[in-house]
Amino acid sequence: MLRYTIQTIRYDERNSISNFDQMNSQELEMAFQKMVEKNKLVRFSQEREAKQKGYKIDENYQDPDVWSYVK
């Protein structure tokens, strides 16, 4: 048996924000930006740990701007 689940970026990002369905557009954008900043900090600390363990990290990588798909 094989099962596929397809989720859009809109579905994925919105569901990562608690109570997104009760927010107006400005509140949603602010919550999204806070989530992006939090994710950057987590990524930075994980990359730092990986570097200390000897891994090479592509520091030129830029996360795509997905806000236009979320709103």
Task: Quote the pLDDT of residue 16.
Answer: 85
What total number of domains does the chain contain?
1
Output the CA–CA distances (angstroms, integers) from residue 27 to 17, 38, 55, in the order listed.
11, 16, 38
- Which residue range is the domain that position 52 belongs to? 9-69
- Residue 26, in any domain of the structure: yes
- Residue 39, in any domain of the structure: yes
- Residue 3, in any domain of the structure: no
Q: Which among 31, 30, 6 is positioned nearest to 16, based on CA atoms?
A: 31
- Kindly report, residue by residue over 23-64, the tens digit of the pLDDT: 888 998 999 999 999 999 999 999 999 999 999 988 888 888
- Residue 22, in any domain of the structure: yes
Task: Quote the pLDDT of residue 21.
Answer: 84
- Residue 4, in any domain of the structure: no
- Residue 56, in any domain of the structure: yes
Between 41 and 69, name the one with better pLDDT: 41
- Residue 2, in any domain of the structure: no
The encoded tokens of residue 67 equal: 């806000």
- Residue 1, in any domain of the structure: no
